[in-house]
Every structure is written in C-alpha cells, then in structure tokens.
C-alpha cells in the first residue's frame, strides 16, 4: 500500500511540475510549426496535438488544485481562463473542414473531408443557385449600327449613359467571361423601353427601335466583389439560404457550420462552378470565454498590485 502511495505521489509530483509544463509547451510549439510546414499531414498531427493539449490541461488543473490555497483569487481566475482556452483548443479539433466544387444549379449531399481524406455525407443537400460578380466601372467601346449599317463608335464605361438618336443608352454591365454587354434603352424622358444584349440581341425593346450594338473593345476589368448564393435543404424543407463570400461566409449557427467561397471558375465546357469550403468549428464560444476570463483575472491582478503600491507609498 505504501509503495502504491509513493508511486501515486511521484506521478502527481511529475504531473504538476514546471519541467513538464515547459516541456509540453516546447513540444506543442514544435508540432504546430511542423503542422504549418507540412499541412498535408494534418491528420497525422491531430492525435499528438490532442494528447499534448490534454496533458497540458491536466498539468495546469492539478497544479491549480494543489496550490489553490496559496494562490490569490485573480491568479485562480487566470488559471481558469487558461483551462477554458485549452478546452477550446481540444474542442476545435473535434470539428472538420470539407471542400467541394459545384456547378451552378447543381447540388450535392457529400463533400471531401480533409481529416478523413475521403468524401463523406453532409447530412443535407447543398445547392449552388448562382455566382455573382461586381466589377469596378469598366471602360468600353460600343459600336452602333443603324438598320444593320455601321454608324457610330462610342467610348464610355459601365454605369454611364450616352445619347444616340434621341434615346438614352445606359451601360448596365459587362460580363468579361461571356463578353456580354447589357444596355438599358430609355426614351428622352428617362422612361425604360427595354434592354439590349450584345450577345442575345434586343430584349423587350419596341419594334420601332432600329439600333443595334456591338462590343468593340474593353479594358481589363478589376473585380470588386464576388459571391455565390447557396441553399441548404433536407427533402422539401429549406434549412438556410444566403450568400457566401471569401471573407463573409454563410453561417448556419444551429450546426456550427460556415460556408466559405474559395474560388470561382469555368470548366472546359464553359460551365461556371464555385468552390465551397465547409468549416465546422464548435470552439468559438469557449475561445471567447477563455480569453474573457483570463483578461478579467489579469485586470484584477494588476488592479491589486496598483492598490498595494499606493498603500506602500
């Protein structure tokens, strides 16, 4: 029995030692450096990182437990904050990252899970409804034809309006991928008569409108903003729908899921697709709580120090 007690005492002394604490921190730093250099081995590093964090948390917990009578309340609060932050790190490792490329108006129920290195079910249906782009104003040259005969050449830019034969022609947009220039046709008073597409022709303009347009040239556009519209559903029930952008993901709070737009492209057949990254991370509430508790402890500790220094003076 005494031998067992000695073993337990030695184990406890080892687990609460500063040497173990420093060693674990060094190992954790090395693991994180290796993980940043070799991200393809993330799955391999997950278990060692989890183990180090768990032992580090146990070390701090036992250290706090064995010394709580001698530690001030602010220090105990800081220790609690550290423990919550470490718990958040472990909880974060329970999440995952998945990716998928989807064409517009297509859906999927699976995605590639990077932690499992294979496609797995999502538990819902994800549909890409559209890919939208917003460009800074683009300089364009528009050729004007009257009854099919070349007539004029105008230099303008998207968003601006030019006057041709008493009509107001507003340049709505230019799609650099399809080379479609969309124009709004208005009468002299500003009333909308219809639209004209340089790839599709007149759209709802009066038959008396005899002008046609060609996109002659344009300057390389600068992308201002890009997004995709997603819809998540199960059966006929829509769970959530909205826009996803690079730095503004679609957030599904109930499932702790965030949907990021990672890329947009066109395949060999001319079809647009969107790359979506799905991130499940249940740790943010614990991260914020841990930092908040730690800051309270730090503020409390330094407030006490300032008060003591004033009393001494």
Q: Are residues 255 and 289 in the same domain?
A: no
pLDDT(38) > 80: no
Supply angle C-alpha 88, 90, 91, rounded to 5: 60
Q: Are residues 242 and 197 in the same domain?
A: no
Average of per-residue pLDDT across 203-227: 89
Q: Where are the alpha helices (DSSP H) in the chain?
A: 2-15, 18-37, 42-67, 73-92, 284-312
What pLDDT is attached to residue 51? 83
Instruction: Print the domain residue range for 84.
Output: 2-95+283-312
Among the listed residues 122, 84, 75, the one whose alpha carbon sits nearest the alpha carbon of residue 102: 122
CA 308 centroid distance within chain: 47
What pLDDT is attached to residue 12? 64
What pLDDT is attached to residue 259? 94
What pLDDT is attached to residue 110? 94
Among the listed residues 102, 107, 63, the one whose alpha carbon sits nearest the alpha carbon of residue 82: 63
> What are the pLDDT digits (tens) for 181-200?
999 999 888 899 999 999 98
Q: Are residues 106 and 238 in the same domain?
A: yes
pLDDT(46) > 80: no
What pLDDT is attached to residue 163? 92
Q: Are residues 144 and 214 in the same domain?
A: yes
Q: Which two tokens stand for residue 254?
A: 């109930």
Q: Are residues 90 and 8 in the same domain?
A: yes
What pLDDT is attached to residue 50? 79
**Please, what is the average pLDDT of the chain?**
85
> What are the pLDDT digits (tens) for 252-289?
988 889 999 998 888 888 788 899 999 998 888 888 88
Contact predicate 67/85, CB 8 Å: no
Q: Which long-range contacts (CB under 8 A, 24 or more apart) does 37-46 make?
A: 42/114, 42/115, 43/114, 43/115, 43/116, 43/117, 46/93, 46/115
Q: Are residues 185 and 235 in the same domain?
A: no
Q: Are residues 172 and 231 in the same domain?
A: no
pTM of the model: 0.65
Last residue of a domain, one of 202, 218, 234: 218
Q: How many structural domains is the chain composed of?
A: 3
**Dist. CA 290–CA 310, nearest whole Å:** 30
What pLDDT is attached to residue 5? 64
Percent of the chain with pLDDT over 90: 33
> What are the pLDDT digits (tens) for 141-152?
999 998 888 888
> What are the pLDDT digits (tens) for 168-181?
999 999 988 788 99
Find where tokens 């538990």 sit: 123
């Amino acid at each position: 029995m005494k031998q067992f007690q000695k073993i337990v005492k030695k184990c406890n002394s080892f687990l609460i030692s500063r040497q173990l604490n420093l060693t674990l921190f060094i190992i954790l730093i090395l693991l994180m450096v290796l993980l940043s250099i070799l991200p393809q081995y993330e799955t391999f590093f997950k278990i060692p990182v989890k183990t180090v964090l768990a032992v580090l948390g146990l070390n701090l917990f036992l250290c706090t437990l064995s010394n709580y009578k001698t530690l001030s309340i602010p220090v105990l609060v800081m220790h609690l904050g550290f423990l919550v932050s470490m718990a958040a790190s472990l909880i974060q490792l329970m999440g995952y990252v998945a990716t998928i490329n989807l064409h517009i108006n297509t859906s999927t129920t699976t995605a590639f899970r990077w932690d499992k290195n294979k496609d797995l079910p999502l538990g819902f249906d994800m549909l890409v409804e559209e890919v939208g782009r917003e460009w800074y104003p683009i300089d364009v040259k528009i050729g004007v034809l009257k009854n099919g005969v070349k007539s004029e050449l105008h230099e303008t830019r998207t968003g601006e309006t030019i006057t041709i034969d008493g009509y107001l022609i507003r340049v709505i947009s230019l799609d650099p991928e399809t080379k479609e220039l969309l124009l709004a046709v208005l009468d002299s008073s500003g009333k909308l008569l219809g639209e004209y597409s340089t790839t599709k022709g007149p759209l709802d303009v009066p038959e008396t409108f005899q002008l046609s347009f060609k996109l002659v040239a344009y300057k390389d556009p600068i992308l201002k903003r890009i997004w995709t519209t997603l819809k998540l559903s199960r059966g006929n029930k829509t769970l959530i729908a909205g826009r996803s952008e690079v730095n503004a993901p679609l957030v599904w709070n109930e499932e702790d899921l965030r949907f990021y737009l990672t890329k947009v492209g066109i395949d060999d057949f001319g079809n647009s697709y969107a790359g979506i990254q799905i991130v499940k991370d249940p740790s943010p509430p614990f991260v914020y709580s841990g930092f908040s508790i730690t800051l309270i402890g730090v503020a409390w500790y330094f407030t006490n120090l300032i008060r003591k220094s004033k009393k001494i003076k």
